Amino acid sequence: MKVWTVANQKGGVGKTTTTVSLGGLLAQQGKRVLMIDTDPHASLSYYFGIDAEASSHSVYDIFINFNNLTADKVMDCLSPTKIDNLYVLPATMALATLDRTMGSEQGMGLVLKKALAKIYDEFDVAIIDCPPVLGVLMVNALAACNKVIVPTQTEYLALKGLDRMIRTMEIMGRSLDKTFDTIIIPTMFDKRTNAALASRKRLMSDYGERVWHGVIPVDTHFRDASLIQLPISAAYPKTRGVTAYSKLLKVLEK
């Protein structure tokens, strides 16, 4: 199983959209895909119409039971989507309490990694969607992954947020004794605006090799797809957004 984490401490930059779009494309290729929602706002879960509040089948239950996880218990927490091979490990609001209640317990940073190890052979790719805050959930997502995808909106303020995210990964990398394979993705790119062009140029000059050479364009089909609870590639296959994420996927799979 490959594990990819989609993270940026800045909100609204396209993390959840990236998770869903890549997950949809991979599942349509026949890969078995698990998307993990670690955001207490549960945007990814709601995208697919999953409300985990009522059940005890969510990422929260994995954290609560972290001392006696089994493959069956982890698999029990997953929800299917309308797409074959595409599953969600949903989030609940209770996740917001984890930092306070369990954040300092020994081993809490490795819960997700251990849970994924239990179901290693069940999926080809796991994609972890992070909340826009640094806390125990993002720490878990970073510790569990082989690759970090950092969507960055092509506008000035978002570049500031990226600075913080890169520093977080440097600090985390030192404490976990690993270097992150990082790819920065320019998102919501509107080629007609000078601000977008200037910030892409700035990204390239500040972060060089780590920046993906393509861009994810602004495309209203992303929002339309979310309204019918489908990844964009299933809802509107012939759109600029799908073409862009397909190109990105080729690079990620290399």
Ligand X SMILES: Nc1ncnc2c1ncn2[C@@H]1O[C@H](COP(=O)(O)OP(=O)(O)OP(=O)(O)O)[C@@H](O)[C@H]1O
Q: Give me the residues that bind ligand X (CB under 6 A), please.
A: 11-17, 39, 43, 132, 187-188, 216, 218-219, 222-223, 226, 241
Residue 90's binding partner among ligand X, Mg ion, none (Cβ under 5 to 8 angstroms by kind) is: none
Q: Nearest approach, Cβ of 100 to ligand X (angstroms)?
A: 21
Measured from the CB atom, is 174 or 223 closer to ligand X?
A: 223
* Residue nearest Mg ion, Cβ-based: 16
152 is a contact residue toward Mg ion (CB under 5 A): no
164 vs 223, beta carbon nearer ligand X? 223
Stretch that binds Mg ion, among 7-15, 120-128, 172-180, 181-189 (CB under 5 A): 7-15
| Contact between 15 and Mg ion per CB under 5 A | yes
Neighbours of 192 (CB within 10 A): 7
In the bound state with Mg ion, the residue whose beta carbon lies nearer, of 58 and 69, is: 58
Q: Which does 57 bind (CB under 5 to 8 A by kind): ligand X, Mg ion, none?
A: none
Three-class DSSP labels, the chain: CEEEEECCCCCCCCHHHHHHHHHHHHHHCCCCEEEEECCCCCHHHHHCCCCCCCCCCCHHHHHHCHHHCCHHHHHHCCEECCCCCEEEECCCHHHHHHHHHHCCCCCHHHHHHHHHHHCCCCCCEEEEECCCCCCHHHHHHHHHCCEEEEEEECCHHHHHHHHHHHHHHHHHHHHHCCCCCEEEEEECECCCCHHHHHHHHHHHHHHHHHECCCCCECCCHHHHHHHCCCCHHHHCCCCHHHHHHHHHHHHHCC
CB of 175 to ligand X, least distance (A): 24
Site string for Mg ion, 38-67 (x = CB under 5 A): -----x------------------------
Tokens representing 247 are 């190109």
**Site stretch for Mg ion (CB under 5 A), options 2-10, 37-45, 94-102, 142-150:** 37-45
Residue 10 binds Mg ion (CB under 5 A): no
Which of Mg ion, ligand X, none does 226 bind, CB closer than 5 to 8 A by kind? ligand X
